[in-house]
Amino acid sequence: MAVLNLAGVSKDFGATKAVDDVDLEVPEGQLACFLGPSGCGKTTLLRMIAGLEEPSAGTIRFGEKDVTQQPAHRRGIGMVFQSLALFPHLDVGENIAYGLRIRGTPKQERDNRARELLGLVQMPGVERRHIPQLSGGQRQRVAIARALALDPQVFLLDEPLSALDAKLREEMQVELRMLQQRVGITSILVTHDQREAMTMADMVVVMKDGQVQQVGTPLEIYRRPANVFVAEFIGSSNLLKGEIVAGDRVQVHGHTLRVESMPHGFASGAEITVSVRPEEVGLCSGEETRENGLQGTITFIRDVGQNVEYRIDCSGLEITSNVPPRDKPDVQLGDRVTVELPADACVVLA
Amino acid sequence: MTTARRSWAPIGLLSYPTLMLGVFFLIPFGIMFATSFFERDPIAFYRPAFVFDQYARLATSLFIDHLLFSLYLAVFVSVISIGLAFPFTYLLTRMRLRTQTLWLVFVLSVLSLSEVIVGFSWSMLLSRTAGLSNVLVWLGILEEAVAWAPSFGAVVVGYLYLTLPYTVLILYPPLSRIDPELTEAARTLGASPLRAFFNVVIPSTRTPIIASMILVFVFTLGVFLIPNLLGRPRHWTLSVLITDQAVYQSNPPFAAALAVFLLATSAALILITLWLSRRKRVATT
Amino acid sequence: MIQRSLIILFMTVIAAFLIAPIIIVLGISVNDGRQLYFPPEGFSLHWYQAMATESDWRASIEYSLLIAAVAGLVAVSVALPLAYALWRYGMLYAKILFGFGVTPFMLPPVITALGFMTFWATTGNYGQIENVMIAHGMFLVTLPLMTIALGLESTDRSVVEAARTMGASESTVFRTIILPLIRPYIISGYAFVFVLSLNEYIIAFMVAGFTVETLPIRIFNSLRYGYTPLMAAVAVLFVAIAVVVFGLFARFGNLPRLLGRWEPDK
């Protein structure tokens, strides 16, 4: 187990920068999620940590040790691949013990280790089964057991759950997270699914175009997105374009809003975007005067069970509000309503 | 690629194939090419020189006749081959996998038959003493047994026997890729199966058809024993002439010139095939 | 209904055309006398015995089998590292080399035959049996190249990386992962070369035809200098070998896939 440290890591493929100057530290025993749309460089960054891809610049350290120049098989990593990459010609036990066999570990010891790991992933007694006989979820577990067989310092997972159907996937997210905490291994999970990242990560690293956009706990990322991209990519958000009037006031589409915290470095008149999560947006029937209150007409209602979504047209500005079913106001399509954008929920972004 | 930059593995892997292909492919072809500029020497096969005599001889009317005949025969046979193999292969790819496998074993076995055996058995089949005409006599269709070989028809039949399995195997991959829903869509729009075949299947496989035709054409140019066994000297093709010049007339330089000519023709056709298939790939992506 | 019977008729005609010569050869091979008759006169299997007892025919069978066996090895030994290097490292040079490997088979064989003939005439080694082995191996190298490339293409590349992360060196990956996975494709490539080499005439003839009489050469010569039902018996033997080899492919492998059938599930 070790701290993982990246300093100025870059990767160029010809003229394109797949990964651009990434600095990052993952504390010992924590799970970091690389999150971003496809092509954002998250997989390339993971492969550089694995030693499967060579950085164009920068250093990678496991603890005190600089591993930048070390090939994959000397780094002490365990990796779960997107395709799982189980060896189809070997049975479950042989798959798990492959790394041990190469090191010349005696058969008895290999068998013990395989049994132990299968117990860890809650699949005891399947050593002699063949890969095609296993279900998707079982293969997943075998791949995880195999990656942990050599007691790696760093555990790397490249979208390992993407092949599973939605329900199994949710179950595996929880199970994998519990396993990771039990083993206490420094881990990195690559995913494009923000829900998966929120479920599993100690820290989320949001990436776009090869660059890190924001690093933080899932809640920080959600509550305090660093920029428009993060706000849009993580969950959904009302993004309102406007400009700073003065102090803690911003002007959006002809309305003046007060915001609780104003980031430094913005002068009056600067163009900004205000992000408000739909579940923070208050909604009441009729036209009332409130702080940060806007009047509008309901154009769309959708009740998806866990909450009710309203879209309100406030003289050309569309606001979405999510309300829990219990707090559902008594309003119909076409009603005039007031929406409230609480000052402490308004995040000002560049 | 995995830390490939520091690895010597590819060099190690490729050194042996490079050696073998260099020594046993490039050098022989180079020597053959060089030989085509040599002078003939009745005693020592050839004498090194740099003359264009052999190529000049290509222009004589005798060889032009043989060349034209070779090309004519190749076109004729490849068109018939595709005409027969296309519907056959299409039907084959629609069969159950087990049936397909049995057919493929059969087709492969026929393809691997030696030209010698094919020529011999067709000369039997088309002969007066042991041939098919005896069956027709027995059925009362013919008055008396006749010899159908040697003749142009016999040559064509022999060629077709060699090219048909080859064509089937070339057409098999593209035809097996045709989406069955394509013809089903045409059927739901009111086309009969036969109409769907002509209106949908054939147009959608135009490129593989052309590519296959060229490959069969080149394959046909290489057939050597059939004209010998089933034809008359005027049915001799370039391949027969090359062997005749090299072995029986002891004139390797002229044989080499003929071969270079044949090579150039074939290579040009293969390049066209590759170009066509690449263009198709660009069009589909 | 009419359409269906037309289809069956068409397939039957094609099958009859393809099988007719084989039936003729089979019939002739069981002739009792020295003459070639079809239908056969009398029934006897002694021509099959004669394959083993007539020494020059037996020598030809042995030559042919030996040449085919070694040619297969030559072809696979060149094809395997080449196809693997291309798949693993994807270098332009490997691509070019692969192109060279595929070319001879696509060209009329007489060109390769003449190339090798002039080559050995120049090096002064004309007429040796190893010439035929190498010539066949290099001429047919296309086949294992194709089958092995097909096998590698259907292999998940991350399997290699997974093995690497578990500490396997390049050569260990090749030995413990790649080789077992593509073994069926190597074997089928070898078998293709074996069968086609057995039946190849023109290259064998021009490279060493007067000293090493392979079976096709001997059959051809006896076509000119006196027919005997023995050649039919030998031809039957060859057909049988081909059917057995390809039958084994079909039994133990996926022949349609090997011949390029697209599989929607993979």
Q: Is B15 exposed, middle or buried (0-12, 13-18, 19+ CB in 10 A)?
A: exposed
Do C45 and C26 meet the contact criterion of CB atoms below 8 Å apart? Answer: no
C159 to A85: CB separation less than 8 angstroms, yes or no: yes
d(CA B156, CA B227): 9
Looking at chain C, which residue has its C-alpha nearest residue B274? C99
- What is the distance in angstroms between the Cα of C81 and the nearest Cα belonging to chain B? 5
Give the other-Cβ count within 10 Å of B83's Cβ: 11
Looking at chain B, which residue has its C-alpha nearest residue A53? B2
d(CA C10, CA B172): 18
**In angstroms, how far apart are the furthest CA atoms of chain C?**
71
Residues in B closer than 8 angstroms to C138, CB to CB, are: 20-21, 24-25
d(CA A40, CA A19): 8
Query: CA B155: distance to chain centroid?
Result: 14
Return the residue matching tokens 């530290």.
A25
d(CA B135, CA B153): 19
Q: Where are the alpha helices (DSSP H) in chain B?
A: 9-21, 27-35, 53-58, 61-93, 97-112, 115-125, 132-138, 152-176, 180-188, 193-196, 202-204, 206-221, 225-230, 238-243, 252-284
Nearest by CB to C167, which of A81, A89, A150? Answer: A150
**In angstroms, how far apart are the furthest CA atoms of chain B?**
81
Do A319 and A339 meet the contact criterion of CB atoms below 8 Å apart? Answer: yes
- What is the distance in angstroms between the Cα of B76 and the nearest Cα belonging to chain A? 48
d(CA A317, CA B7): 60
The yes-or-no verdict on residue C107 having pLDDT over 50 is yes
For chain B, list the domains and their CATH numbers. Answer: 61-284 (1.10.3720.10)
The domain ranges of chain C are 55-258
Asked if A90 reaches chain B (Cβ–Cβ under 8 Å), the answer is no
Reported for A101-106, long-range contacts at CB under 8 A and 24+ positions apart, including other chains, are: A101/C176, A102/C166, A102/C167, A102/C168, A102/C172, A102/C176, A103/C167
pLDDT, tens digit, 9 for 90 and up, residues A8-51: 999 998 888 999 999 999 999 999 999 999 889 999 999 999 99
Q: What is the per-residue pLDDT for B45?
A: 65
Do C185 and C150 meet the contact criterion of CB atoms below 8 Å apart? Answer: yes
Q: Which chain A residues in 24-53 lie under 8 Å from chain B, judged by CB atoms?
A: 51-52
Q: Where are the alpha helices (DSSP H) in A89-211?
A: 92-96, 98-102, 107-120, 136-148, 166-183, 194-200
Asked if A13 reaches chain B (Cβ–Cβ under 8 Å), the answer is no
Sheet holding A347-349, edge to edge: A255-258, A249-252, A238-246, A271-276, A347-349
Nearest by CB to B24, which of C134, C223, C242? Answer: C134
Q: What is the per-residue pLDDT for C263?
A: 61
Asked if B14 reaches chain C (Cβ–Cβ under 8 Å), the answer is yes
What chains are in contact with C, requiring at least 3 Cβ pairs below 8 Å?
A, B
pLDDT tens, chain B, 285 aa long: 444 445 677 888 889 999 999 988 899 888 888 888 887 776 666 777 777 777 777 777 777 888 888 888 988 999 999 999 999 999 998 888 889 999 999 999 998 888 888 888 888 888 877 677 777 777 777 777 777 778 888 999 999 999 999 899 888 888 888 877 777 787 777 777 777 778 778 887 877 788 788 888 888 888 888 888 888 888 888 888 888 888 888 888 888 888 888 888 878 877 877 777 666 555 543
- Chains A, C: CB contacts under 8 A, how many? 65
- Chains A, B: CB contacts under 8 A, how many? 10
Residues of chain A short of pLDDT 70, as ranges, are 1
Q: What is the per-residue pLDDT for A312?
A: 93
Q: What is the per-residue pLDDT for B4?
A: 43
d(CA A36, CA A215): 12
Collapsed DSSP state (helix, strand, coil) of residue C218: helix
Q: At what angle do helices C2-29 and B152-176 cross, to 10 degrees?
A: 120
Residues in A closer than 8 angstroms to C172, CB to CB, are: 102
d(CA B80, CA B47): 44
d(CA A326, CA B30): 87
For chain A, list the domains and their CATH numbers. Answer: 2-229 (3.40.50.300), 236-349 (2.40.50.100)
A72 to B5: CB separation less than 8 angstroms, yes or no: no
Do A22 and A205 meet the contact criterion of CB atoms below 8 Å apart? Answer: no
Do C172 and C162 meet the contact criterion of CB atoms below 8 Å apart? Answer: no
Going by C-alpha positions, the residue among A307, A296, A290, A300 that lies closest to residue A332 is A300
Q: How far is CA A234 from CA A206, A219, A228, A282, C266, in A?
A: 9, 10, 10, 21, 34
Q: What is the per-residue pLDDT for B285?
A: 39
- What is the distance in angstroms between the Cα of A201 and the nearest Cα belonging to chain C? 23
Handedness of CA B230, B236, B242, B246 (dihedral sign): positive
d(CA B60, CA B76): 24
d(CA C240, CA A117): 52
Do C134 and C208 meet the contact criterion of CB atoms below 8 Å apart? Answer: no
Residue of B1, B2, B6 to mutate, testing the A interface (most A Cβ within 10 Å of its Cβ): B2
> For B90, what's the count of Cα atoms within 13 Å in the CB-facing half-sphere?
23
B130 to C28: CB separation less than 8 angstroms, yes or no: yes
- What is the distance in angstroms between the Cα of A55 and the nearest Cα belonging to chain C? 17
Q: What is the per-residue pLDDT for C179?
A: 94
Return the residue matching tokens 């924590």.
A30
b (16+ CB within 10 A) / e for B135-156: eeeeeeeeeebeebbbebebbb
Does C55-258 carry CATH code 1.10.3720.10? yes
Return the residue matching tokens 């790939």.
B281
Do A349 and A330 meet the contact criterion of CB atoms below 8 Å apart? Answer: no
pLDDT, tens digit, 9 for 90 and up, residues C131-155: 899 999 999 999 999 989 988 988 8
Q: Which chain C residues in 41-60 lie under 8 Å from chain B, judged by CB atoms?
A: none
Residues in C closer than 8 angstroms to B193, CB to CB, are: 3
Instruction: Return the H-helix or E-strand segment holding A242.
Output: strand A238-246
List CB contacts of A107: < 8 A, sequence separation 6 or more. Answer: none
Note the pTM of the prediction, 2 decimals: 0.83
Do B83 and B164 meet the contact criterion of CB atoms below 8 Å apart? Answer: no
Output DSSP code: residue B192.
-
d(CA C249, CA C265): 21
- What is the distance in angstroms between the Cα of A67 and the nearest Cα belonging to chain B? 13
pLDDT, tens digit, 9 for 90 and up, residues A138-192: 999 999 999 999 999 999 999 999 888 888 899 999 999 999 999 999 999 999 9
Going by C-alpha positions, the residue among C197, C203, C206, C202 that lies closest to residue C238 is C197
Handedness of CA A244, A246, A247, A250 (dihedral sign): negative
Q: What would the two tokens of residue C126 be?
A: 């004309």
The yes-or-no verdict on residue C220 having pLDDT over 90 is no
Do B237 and B70 meet the contact criterion of CB atoms below 8 Å apart? Answer: yes
Strand partners, A16: A13
Do B148 and B126 meet the contact criterion of CB atoms below 8 Å apart? Answer: yes
Asked if B60 reaches chain C (Cβ–Cβ under 8 Å), the answer is no
Q: How far is CA B36 from CA B46, B52, B166, B242, B243, in A?
A: 10, 8, 31, 12, 14
d(CA A202, CA A4): 14
Which bin fits B250, alpha (ψ -120 to 50), beta or left (φ > 0)?
left
Residues in C closer than 8 angstroms to B242, CB to CB, are: 110-111, 114
Going by C-alpha positions, the residue among C185, C161, C152, C176 that lies closest to residue C84 is C152
Residue of C29, C114, C192, C257 to mutate, testing the B interface (most B Cβ within 10 Å of its Cβ): C114
Nearest by CB to C168, which of A51, A73, A81? Answer: A73
Which bin fits C90, alpha (ψ -120 to 50), beta or left (φ > 0)?
left
Going by C-alpha positions, the residue among C104, C121, C56 that lies closest to residue C200 is C104
Instruction: Dump the DSSP string for C150-194.
Output: HHHHTS-THHHHHHHHTT--HHHHIIIIIHHHHHHHHHHHHHHHH
Instruction: Dump the DSSP string for C93-136.
Output: HHHHHHHHHHHHHHS-HHHHHHHHHHHHHHHT-TT-HHHHHHHH
Residue of A87, A117, A151, A153 to mutate, testing the C interface (most C Cβ within 10 Å of its Cβ): A87
CA dihedral C122, C123, C127, C130 (to 10 degrees): -140
Instruction: Tell me how far apart the terminal alpha carbons of chain C are, to the nearest angstrom.
Output: 35
Q: At what angle do helices A136-148 and A166-183 cross, to 10 degrees?
A: 20
